[in-house]
Amino acid sequence: MRKIVILILNIALIFLLIGCGRKVSQTEAEEPETTVEGIAQGEPEAVNGQMDNNMEQNDRGGQNNLAFAGYSGCWSYEGKTHEQILAGGGMELSCTITGDNQFSGTLFSQQEITGRLALVENISGKIEQAELYFDYADDEWGNSGTLHIQFLNDSIYVEALNDKNTDHVSDYGISGSFWLIREKEDVAENGIAADLSFDPSWTGEERISAVNERSQYYKTSAYYSEIIDYWENVREVRDISNVMEPLFETDKKYYTKEEFESEPMLVIHLAKNEIYARHGYIFANKDLHNYFMGCVWYSPTCDSEDFDDSVLNEYERANLEILAHLDVY
C-alpha cells in the first residue's frame, strides 16, 4: 500500500514540474529584450515603416475630415469684392463646406468690357484629397465641361477642363484657370496707399496689390472703358500690363507722325500727357488725374505750376511736338 501511495505522489510531482516548466518557457518567450532605456530591441524596420505610413494616413484622414469647412465663404480673382466684380469684371466662387467636406457653391464670372455674365450653379460634391471635380452642362453661354477645384494653403485654384461650346457661337463663358483668394474689403473704403512709387523689384503679389489699390481711380476716369477696349482688342493685352507701363516709349525712341495717326484720338491725347506724367506732373483735369493715378508706374510728385520742361529728354521733346499737333481730343 505504501509503495502505491509513493508512486502516486511521484507521478503528481512529475506533472507539477512539467506544468511549471511550460509556464516559465512561455513567460520568457513573451518578454522583449530591452536596453537600459527600456526600448524593445530587434523590432523589424518594416514594422517602423508601416507605423509611419499609418500615422501619415491618419494625419491625412484627419485633415480630410476637418480642414476644409474653413474654406466656406467667398473667393475671387485678386481678392475683388462682389461689388468690384460687378463694376469691373472678375471671377468669384462662393461656397459652403460642411464638416464632412460636402461642398456646395456657385462660380460666377463677369467680363470686364461687355459686362456679360457666366454662371455655374449648384456645384456639389465631396472634397477628396483637397480636390473636387464637378461636371457642368451649361454656364449660361452653352459651354459644358468639368470644374477642377483645388484647395491650397491660402487660395483656391479653379480650372475648367474639357470645356466645350455646344452652340459654337460665342467665346464667352467659363474657361481657363484662376487663382482665387479670400475677398477683401473694398480698397476705396480704406484709401490708397501713401507710397505710390513703383518698385521694379516688386513680387507678382505686390504688383497685383498695387493695381488693386489704384483701380478705384482708373475706373472712375471717363476714359476707362475706351482705353480698356483699346488695350484688349487693339494691343491684345488682357493682363495688368495695361497699367504697369505707359502706352508708348516716347522717352526712349523717336516716333513718326504716321505711327501716331493710326491711333484713336483718345490714345493720342493720353500719349501726349503721359510724357508729362512720367515726370510726376500732377494734372488739374479730373479725368486725366484719375486715369494716371490708376497707372502703377505714375507717381504724382510735381504741381503744374512748379513743372519745368527742361526735364524732358530729346526723344520726349520730338514726340511731344508731333503729338501736340495731332491731339484734337
Amino acid symbol at 263: E
Give the DSSP H or E segment for 28: helix 2-30
Least confident range from 52-61, 93-102, 137-146: namely 52-61
pLDDT value at residue 32: 32
| Dihedral angle of Cα 33, 36, 37, 43, to the nearest 10 degrees | -30
C-alpha cell, 78: 485678386
pLDDT value at residue 60: 38
pLDDT at 184 over 50: yes
pLDDT at 285 over 70: yes
pLDDT in tens, 215-251: 878 888 899 999 999 999 999 888 888 888 899 999 9
Query: Distances from the Cα of 207 to the Cαs of 91, 154, 238, in angstroms?
Result: 19, 18, 15
C-alpha 68/C-alpha 97 separation (Å) is 7
CB 277 within 8 A of CB 296: no
Which of 17-31, 83-97, 166-180 has the highest average model confidence (pLDDT)?
A: 83-97
C-alpha 108/C-alpha 119 separation (Å) is 5
C-alpha cell, 195: 507710397
C-alpha 266/C-alpha 326 separation (Å) is 11
Interhelix angle 265-277/314-326, rounded to 10 degrees, is: 150
pLDDT in tens, 106-136: 998 887 777 678 889 999 999 999 999 999 9
Has this prediction a pTM greater than 0.95?
no
pLDDT in tens, 147-172: 999 998 778 999 999 877 655 445 56
pLDDT value at residue 325: 96
pLDDT value at residue 141: 82
Which of 36-40, 80-84, 93-97 has the highest average model confidence (pLDDT)?
A: 93-97
pLDDT value at residue 265: 96
Least confident range from 50-54, 225-229, 254-258: namely 50-54
Higher pLDDT, 173 or 145: 145
pLDDT value at residue 31: 33
pLDDT at 4 over 60: no
pLDDT at 55 over 60: no
pLDDT at 53 over 60: no
Higher pLDDT, 72 or 22: 72
pLDDT level of residue 8 (50, 70, 90 thresholds): low
pLDDT level of residue 193 (50, 70, 90 thresholds): very low
pLDDT at 212 over 50: yes
222 Cβ neighbours under 8 A, 6+ residues apart = 287
